[in-house]
């Protein structure tokens, strides 16, 4: 290569340049540590939320705050539209003042528009059949049923179904007065 002077000059690293490079390196390490901390925090929070949500799946909480024993409480999901009916997933007696915490199985409710059906038999009374809300998709949350009795002896059933993630596909937040057949 004629006519071209290709000489490379050696760049001297001065003390000031070395200090600037070290400061830049420290800044990059600091930013990397902050980023790693944020990622770790997000991962830990995600894990905690998954554990909490998993612990709320398929739970059934029933409280009998009345002076009467429930001789039998049956629960099932049913839909006339799609001719779907689950097995009875709870069938038990509940004493006066008793509280039950249990689990229920997973049901294929997707697209069935199923209602939660309850049939309650109080001691000395005929059974009362109630429709308790609509489930448009598979439900994996907690169902809470509470029976209360006022001074006049009127029994009210409150039922609430909720999922951990606040689903818009479950409509089950009802309060119903138990109307027993006259004997």
By residue range, what is the domain housing residue 17? 13-55
Has residue 32 been placed in a domain?
Answer: yes
Q: Where is pLDDT greater, at 100 or 23?
A: 100
pTM for this predicted structure: 0.64
Please check whether residues 96 and 121 belong to one and the same domain.
Answer: yes
Q: How confident is the model at residue 63 (pLDDT cuts 50, 70, 90)?
A: very high
Has residue 183 been placed in a domain?
Answer: no
* Residue 3 pLDDT exceeds 60: no
Please check whether residues 126 and 46 belong to one and the same domain.
Answer: no
Q: Domain holding 123: CATH number? A: 2.60.40
Has residue 7 been placed in a domain?
Answer: no
DSSP the chain: -TT----PPPPP--HHHHHHHHHHHHHHHHHHHHHHHHHHHHHHHHHHHHHHHHHTTTEEEEEEESSS-EEEEEEEEEETTTTEEPPP-EEEEE-TT-EEEEE------TTT-EEEEEEEEETTS--EEEEEEEE-S---SEEEEEEEE-TT--EEEEEEEE-TT--SSEE-EEEEE--PPP-
Has residue 182 been placed in a domain?
Answer: no
What is the domain count for the chain?
Answer: 2
Has residue 166 been placed in a domain?
Answer: yes
pLDDT tens readout for residues 121-139: 888 888 888 888 888 777 7
* Residue 26 pLDDT exceeds 80: yes
Has residue 146 been placed in a domain?
Answer: yes
């Amino acid at each position: 290569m004629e006519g071209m002077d290709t000489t490379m000059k050696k760049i001297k690293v001065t003390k000031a340049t070395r200090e600037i490079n070290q400061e830049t390196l420290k800044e990059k390490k600091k930013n990397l540590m902050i980023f790693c901390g944020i990622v770790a925090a997000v991962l830990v929070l995600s894990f905690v939320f998954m554990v909490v949500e998993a612990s709320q799946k398929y739970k059934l909480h029933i409280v009998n705050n009345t002076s009467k024993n429930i001789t039998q409480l049956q629960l099932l999901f049913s839909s006339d539209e799609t001719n779907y009916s689950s097995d009875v997933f709870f069938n038990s007696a509940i004493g006066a003042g008793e509280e039950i915490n249990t689990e229920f199985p997973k049901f294929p409710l997707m697209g069935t528009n199923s209602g939660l059906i309850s049939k309650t038999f109080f001691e000395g009374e005929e059974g009362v059949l109630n429709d308790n809300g609509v489930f448009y998709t598979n439900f994996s949350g907690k169902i809470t049923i509470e029976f209360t009795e006022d001074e006049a002896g009127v029994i009210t059933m409150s039922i609430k179904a909720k999922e951990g993630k606040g689903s818009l596909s479950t409509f089950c937040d009802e309060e119903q007065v138990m109307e027993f057949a006259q004997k």
